[in-house]
C-alpha cells in the first residue's frame, strides 16, 4: 500500500522521474559541485512541498525522483528546479559561470516519466468491476 500524502482537499501519491543534462554535456558534476547541486535541489523540493525520493547526480546529468502535490505540473517542476539551481550554482562556483558564459547551465529539454503504484492491469480490473457497486453504470468510451 503506498504512503499517501494529504493536502487541504486531496489525498495523493504522485511520483515523477526527471532527467536533465548539462548544456553541451560538459562533465562538471564532480566532488564539491555535485554535492552542492544535490543539496540545492533537495532544498528546492522542500520549499515547494515536494519530497525528493532519489536523485543521483552523474558527471553530466541529474536524475530526480520526486513525490509532489497535484497542483504542480511536471513542466512547472522542471522549470523551477532547473532555473533556480542554475543561478545558485553559477553564483557559488565561478568556474561554472565562466564555462557557461550565457548563464544557461542546463540544456533546454528534460525527460519526465511517471512512476506509479497502480498498474494498468489494476486500472482495467477496476474499470471492468468498479468495487462491484451496482450504482455505477458501465459504459464504454471506445468508438
Q: Is 25 helix (H, G, I), strand (E, B) or coil?
A: helix
The verdict on residue 89 lying in a domain is yes
The verdict on residue 126 lying in a domain is no
pLDDT for the residue numbered 117: 64
Give the sheet arrangement for strand 61-67, strand by strand.
51-54, 61-67, 15-21, 111-114
Which string of DSSP letters, residue by residue, matches 86-102? HHHHHHH-HHHHHHTTT
Q: Could you tell me the CATH number of the domain that includes residue 32?
A: 3.30.70.1290
Question: CB under 8 Å to 93, separation ≥6 — which residues?
Answer: 33, 36
The verdict on residue 130 lying in a domain is no
> How much is the pTM?
0.80
More confident residue, 79 or 103: 79
Which string of DSSP letters, residue by residue, matches 55-70? --B-SSEEEEEEE--T
pLDDT category of residue 87 using cuts at 50, 70 and 90:
very high
Q: Going by DSSP bridges, is the β-strand pair 111-114/15-21 parallel, antiparallel, or unpaired?
A: antiparallel
The verdict on residue 54 lying in a domain is yes
pLDDT category of residue 132 using cuts at 50, 70 and 90:
very low
| Residues spanned by the domain of 86 | 11-117
Tell me what the mean pLDDT of segment 92-114 comes to: 91
The verdict on residue 135 lying in a domain is no
Residue 19: strand pairing partners: 63, 111
pLDDT for the residue numbered 127: 63
Q: Quote the mean pLDDT of the chain.
A: 85
Residue 131 pLDDT more than 70? no
The verdict on residue 124 lying in a domain is no
Cα–Cα distance, 79 to 83 (Å, whole number): 6
The verdict on residue 3 lying in a domain is no
The verdict on residue 98 lying in a domain is yes
pLDDT category of residue 35 using cuts at 50, 70 and 90:
very high
- How many domains are contained in the chain? 1
Write the CA distances from 72 to 15, 36, 69, integer angstroms. 11, 25, 6
Of these ranges, 5-14, 48-57, 60-69, 128-137, the one predicted with the greatest mean pLDDT is 60-69
Q: At what angle do helices 32-47 and 74-92 cross, to 10 degrees?
A: 140
Amino acid at each position: 500500500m503506498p504512503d499517501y500524502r494529504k493536502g487541504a482537499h486531496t489525498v495523493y501519491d504522485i511520483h515523477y522521474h526527471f532527467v536533465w543534462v548539462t548544456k553541451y554535456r560538459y562533465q562538471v558534476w564532480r566532488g564539491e559541485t555535485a554535492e552542492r547541486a544535490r543539496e540545492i535541489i533537495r532544498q528546492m523540493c522542500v520549499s515547494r512541498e515536494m519530497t525528493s525520493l532519489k536523485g543521483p547526480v552523474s558527471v553530466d546529468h541529474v536524475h530526480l525522483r520526486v513525490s509532489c502535490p497535484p497542483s504542480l505540473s511536471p513542466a512547472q517542476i522542471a522549470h523551477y528546479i532547473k532555473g533556480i539551481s542554475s543561478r545558485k550554482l553559477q553564483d557559488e562556483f565561478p568556474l561554472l559561470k565562466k564555462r557557461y558564459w550565457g548563464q544557461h547551465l542546463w540544456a533546454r529539454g528534460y525527460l519526465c516519466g511517471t512512476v506509479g503504484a497502480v498498474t494498468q492491469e489494476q486500472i482495467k480490473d477496476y474499470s471492468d468491476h468498479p468495487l462491484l457497486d451496482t450504482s455505477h453504470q458501465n459504459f464504454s468510451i471506445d468508438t
